[in-house]
Structure formats: C-alpha cells, structure tokens
Amino acid sequence: MNPDKLYIENILKSVLLIEEYLKGVSFDKFKKNSMLIDAVSKRFEEIGENSLKVSLKLKLKHKEVRWINLSKNRNFLVYGLVNVRRIYQEAAKEIPKLKIAIKKIKKEIK
C-alpha cells in the first residue's frame, strides 16, 4: 500500500469531521464551546501531522494544496498558540478547498 494513501485518508477524515462539527455553528457559538474548539483544534493538528508525512513527490505534484500552511496550523496549536478566531476562519475558508483537493488526490492514489 502506498503510504501516502493512509496520510491522505487521514487528512480527509479530519476535514470531514471539521465540516460536521461546524455545520450550522456561528463564530459566537464556536467561541463559547470549549469542547468544540478542542475537537476542531485536534483535527487541525491531525491534518498538519499527516501533511508532514506526505511524500515530497506527491506534494510537488499537487501544489494546489498549501502543504506548508497545513503544518503551520498544526504548529500554532501544538505550541499553545490557540486563536479561536483564526481556527474558525481557517475552517470556514480553507477546509472546503482542502476537501476538494484531497478528494481529487485520493482518487489518483492507488
């Protein structure tokens, strides 16, 4: 099995969970719900961790994915630099684009 397949599947799983967690949730509700903040933060960490393991070959082939930003988001969270507004904005803005790209990559990987 191609190791990238596992990492891409893990990223997609986290993307789908973030979408599920935030469906119909406003920023005001999000910022008041520590469990939701923790859940979304954990998923961003997972996305970042798995993105670090994706092969350079795949990253170079799929430059539409902002790989470096995925790992930066992880680093902000791991090192305790949690910014609730930034987490919510990243989820709202980047997750839909990432979902499209990762689904495309998943189809290509054997």
Residues taking part in catalysis: 74
Outline where DSSP puts E strands in the chain.
none
Rounded to whole angstroms, the Cα distance separating 47 from 58 reads 16
Closest CA to 8 of 106, 101, 107: 106
